[in-house]
Homo-oligomer: A and B are copies of this chain.
């Protein structure tokens, strides 16, 4: 048997479930988005995915295992975008930050993200918040990773200045997201101005540079 070398990301995205199981999880995800957490019963999943409940329990153990598998599957689908060449100019760095903010707003307001977060939050009081920790771990990894690399690159090139990268990231997150996420989780409808994600991103990055800029970023 040939031993192939896989990165961790590839192991995560390919080797966790069989294709058939992935198809079932995809169907479950669609059910979740369409009907909310209440629609995610084992019988409905089995019917919609053309599989048997027996197989569900054989593959995923119990309902909690199935929910965890759904989260893991969704995380394996999302690739971190735009981690390509790091910006070398101030303008490019600002552009990267705006793109990051825009991507973050887009992802968090997506149907799938909202449905999964609602599911995990709704069950956070049971199970020692098992699903919640899973969402945080899987969702935060790519966000924090990409933001960390970006912020560090900006600092080393003198575009921004900060003491704690973690604190700088949390400020960036707050400026970008504000109460956007929680309000959408609660089902609120957005203001017209909030629907313009790129404008929101640009405004937030402007404020971020006011707080953390060195002056080298405004020509």
Contact = CB atoms under 8 A, between A and B. Distances in A.
Interface residues of A, number: 42
A136 B174 contact: no
Contacts of A37: 122, 125
Contacts of A171: 175, 178, 207
Nearest to A176: B174
A74 B185 CA distance: 20
A85 B185 CA distance: 36
A139 to B, nearest CB: 9
A210 interface: yes
A171 B194 CA distance: 13
Interface stretch (A13-21, A54-62, A86-94, A112-120): A112-120
A196 interface: no
Interface of A: 35-38, 115, 117-126, 128-129, 132-133, 135-136, 167, 170-171, 173-179, 181-183, 185-188, 203, 207, 210-211
